[in-house]
Amino acid sequence: MANQLISQIRRIWRFLVVRKYYAMMSFTGTIHFLFCLFFLYYQVWPMMIFNIVSTTMYFSTLLLIKRGKEMLAIMLAYLEIVLHGIAATYCVGWNTGFAQYLFVVVPLGFFACLELTEGSKRFVIPFLLGTLVGILYASTRQLSHMLTPPYTLSHQTVDFAFVVNSVVTFAFLLLFLILYTYTISEMEQKLRDQNAILDYKASVDPLTNLLNRRSMQEHLIKVFESGRDFAVAMLDIDDFKNVNDSYGHEAGDLVLLEVARIVQEIIPEGSPVCRWGGEEILILFIDASKAKATELSEQVRKCIADNYIPFYQKTLHVTVTIGVSAHYGIHSIDETIAEADNKMYYGKKHGKNQVVSLQRRI
């Protein structure tokens, strides 16, 4: 039962957040309609007429919001709340608490500018407006001591109005603080998501979606500094230039994509794979012996050799040569990669389409 209630509250909250400006204007319009009835009952005619206009305005702003003019709707509401607070205070006195609504527009301005403006406007506009409202609030307080309200309400009515206005003001302030916090949290999440996307784009090769060289070097340094065993395999597509020369770069890109796909399918998760450069692919085997790295490399070689790639009305077929080298503590990362590279070139000079792991270190 409790979980269902919480789930229902969350659904309502998500709905209100998505349509927050509609909810704000509808709620504020309803409040002004009730004010209209209040002033009608106590025959405060100027404020009754004021609230008829205000109620009409608030429900009309829903059309502005629908047309994407949220800032205009907020500015109209901002102005109305300030004028209403001053006019109601003049008509029925300071102690009714209508001037408290001037507090509401300050966070409203900051919240709206946070969502609907950019750059320095997010702070400058609400700060200037908030300062102006503070001056108007203080001036209204001073004038209320100097002027006698044209409409007199009973003490009970004044106390009732003060309590109601205090509660509504507090509710508005609480709502804005919650929405402000939620919006900040949402913006931070979007920023994290965007940074994650940028980090991903910065770490992968745009064609093959394999890691790029810079990202692979970070993995190599990390495993090297950890002292863990590792091996590397340098893969190169045999006669790749002939593919580009014979069929064009579109075919070359297709071959690279297919080779990358096969490598990713066979190499287990946790073994980084990168496009080292051109048609070369480097595989890092962490916590793996040279024998295991050689076995997996042979699986890659065989699968690529057995694969045929449809290309329009033709079929492309390529093979790869792979050099495998295990890292030893006495050597650097560059030396280990150079050994794998040398073994790969040795294989190319001696028949291609093979995995070389036993050649002596050069």
Residue-wise pLDDT tens digits, 18-36: 688 888 899 999 999 999 9
Q: Tell me if 44 is assigned to some domain.
A: yes
**Higher pLDDT, residue 3 or 185:** 185
Q: Do both 141 and 219 map to the same domain?
A: no
pLDDT above 90 covers a percentage of the chain that reads: 73
- Which strands form 230-237's sheet, in the order they lie side by side? 273-277, 280-286, 230-237, 320-326, 355-356
Q: Tell me if 265 is assigned to some domain.
A: yes
Domain boundary (172, 200, 228) is at: 200
Q: Do both 107 and 173 map to the same domain?
A: yes
Average pLDDT over residues 346-355: 95
Beta bridge partners of 43: none
Confidence band (pLDDT; 50, 70, 90) for 17? low
E-strand spans in the chain? 230-237, 273-277, 280-286, 309-311, 314-316, 320-326, 355-356
Average pLDDT over residues 328-350: 92
Cα–Cα distances in Å, from 293 out to 286, 338, 340? 9, 16, 12
- pLDDT at residue 356 is higher than 90: yes
Q: Tell me if 206 is assigned to some domain.
A: no
Q: Do both 193 and 217 map to the same domain?
A: no
| DSSP assigned state of 360 | P
Average pLDDT over residues 55-63: 94
Helical spans, DSSP H, in 248-323: 249-266, 290-305
Domain boundary (144, 173, 200) is at: 200
Q: Do both 95 and 219 map to the same domain?
A: no
pLDDT reported for residue 361: 46
pLDDT reported for residue 145: 87
Domain boundary (200, 223, 250) is at: 200
Q: Do both 100 and 157 map to the same domain?
A: yes
Q: Which pTM was predicted?
A: 0.64
Confidence band (pLDDT; 50, 70, 90) for 362? very low
pLDDT reported for residue 200: 84
The domain in which residue 145 lies consists of 2-200
pLDDT reported for residue 3: 67
Q: Tell me if 72 is assigned to some domain.
A: yes
Q: Do both 220 and 143 map to the same domain?
A: no
Q: Do both 157 and 21 map to the same domain?
A: yes
How many independent structural domains does the chain possess? 2
Phi, psi of 204 (to 5 degrees): -120, 155
pLDDT reported for residue 155: 94
For the chain, what is the mean pLDDT? Answer: 91
DSSP SS3 for 319: coil
Cα angle value 37/41/43 (rounded, 5°): 110
